[in-house]
Copies of this chain bind each other. A is one copy, B any other.
Amino acid sequence: MHSGKKTTHRSACPVSLSLEVLGDRWSLLIVRDMMVRAFRSFKQFQESGERIATNILADRLRKLESAGIIVAEGDPGDGRRSVYRLTERGIDLAPLLLELLIWGARHAAEGDPQGPCAAIGAMVQHRAAVLSEVRRRWAEHDDRPLQAADGRWLWP
């Protein structure tokens, strides 16, 4: 160090990864469930995926909202509030999620040497198509999940 600079915050722009919001175990999982499985309610997040505690879930939803990634709207017609939706900033996480998914599928082939998911090839090939499909559904408020009930991808 050639100066006594304190560097109270983190480094400047160029290599910042903005993990203060996403660098935890649950946030990206929530975003994924909203994007891919069209989850909208507190209970859906709570039951699906991997048993997140309710207080942590509430905290993450709050943090994601204050980060501008999701919005919480009151459900019209049902006073008991809860409809969470992705903002444009949240939808912009789609490429990141897709890459994370591809990486995990490629390298977590434990006990399945010939292909962990069998859909990974399609995902890699159709990156752009998948992302534009996600965007289209989001723009049209299409609330159908991208994933079928049996757990297989509907993507091309």
Instruction: Output the least CB separation between A72 and chain B (Å).
Output: 19
Besides A23-B26, A24-B25, 19 other A-B contacts (C-beta < 8 A): A10-B50, A11-B48, A13-B116, A13-B117, A14-B147, A15-B37, A17-B28, A17-B29, A18-B107, A19-B29, A20-B25, A22-B100, A23-B23, A68-B107, A92-B107, A95-B99, A95-B102, A95-B103, A96-B99
Instruction: Provide the main secondary structure of the chain A interface.
Output: loop
Which residues of A does B touch, CB under 8 Å? 7, 10-20, 22-26, 28-29, 32, 36-37, 48-51, 68, 89, 92-93, 95-97, 99-108, 116-117, 119, 147, 151-153
A149's nearest neighbour on chain B, judged by CB, is: B2
A103 x B18 contact (CB < 8 A): yes
Partner of A17, one of B7, B23, B37, B104: B104
Partner of A16, one of B48, B51, B105, B152: B105
- 22 sample A-B contacts, Cβ–Cβ < 8 Å, listed by A number: A10-B49, A10-B50, A13-B105, A13-B151, A14-B117, A14-B152, A15-B36, A15-B101, A15-B147, A16-B104, A17-B29, A17-B101, A18-B104, A19-B29, A19-B100, A22-B100, A23-B25, A92-B103, A92-B106, A92-B107, A95-B103, A96-B103
